[in-house]
Amino acid sequence: PMTNCLGEEGKGFIYLMSELPQERLSIAVSSMASTQKAFDETVAFCRDRIVFGKPLLDFQNTRFVLADIKTKLQVGWAHLDWALNRHYKKELTAEEGAAAKLWHTDLQWEVVDACLQLHGGAGYMNEYPIARMWRAARVTRIFGGTNEIMKELIGRGL
């Protein structure tokens, strides 16, 4: 019945679209959390896994890959603090929400893939959380609007 109608009739999609920056920011937040978790799991794995007589973490390549990820995590968390602060103040623009979704989901995919690589064959086994995290990461560049569409939105605002 009309008494149950929320807002103005015919404006549903406009109302929905007005919440998209928040939805995209929430995707960025959960992607960042998954990225951090993948990193933490991988550091623990590399400490335990012995190859050529020493822990995987003792090899320079491993440390360089993980150091690079740790640096990006530091930058990523700082960016999310900035974006969340703007959201709380109702200042986050559609372009900024799109950029957050784009950057953090791209980062998630890059990091989770590198973390799986460091697991070797174990990364392909469900016994190791990274296998599922890798599968779950693939969709984040698609839902909430694909990352190509995020670039469209940012580009339109130039």
Ligand X SMILES: Cc1cc2nc3c(=O)[nH]c(=O)nc-3n(C[C@H](O)[C@H](O)[C@H](O)COP(=O)(O)OP(=O)(O)OC[C@H]3O[C@@H](n4cnc5c(N)ncnc54)[C@H](O)[C@@H]3O)c2cc1C
Residues in touch with ligand X (CB under 6 A): 139, 142-146, 148-149, 152
Q: CA–CA distance from 107 to each of 75, 116, 135 (Å)?
A: 11, 14, 15
Sign of CA dihedral 136, 139, 145, 149: positive
Minimum distance from residue 152 beta carbon to ligand X (Å): 5
Instruction: Look at residues 63, 38, 18 and name the one whose alpha carbon lies nearest to residue 128.
Output: 38
Minimum distance from residue 151 beta carbon to ligand X (Å): 8
Measured CA to CA, the distance from residue 147 to residue 27 in angstroms comes to 12
Q: Which of 8, 19, 23, 91 is catalytic?
A: 23
Q: Which is nearer to ligand X, 70 or 132 (CB)?
A: 132
Minimum distance from residue 26 beta carbon to ligand X (Å): 12
Per the annotation, the verdict on 95 as an active-site residue is no
Q: Which is nearer to ligand X, 78 or 139 (CB)?
A: 139
Active-site residue list: 23
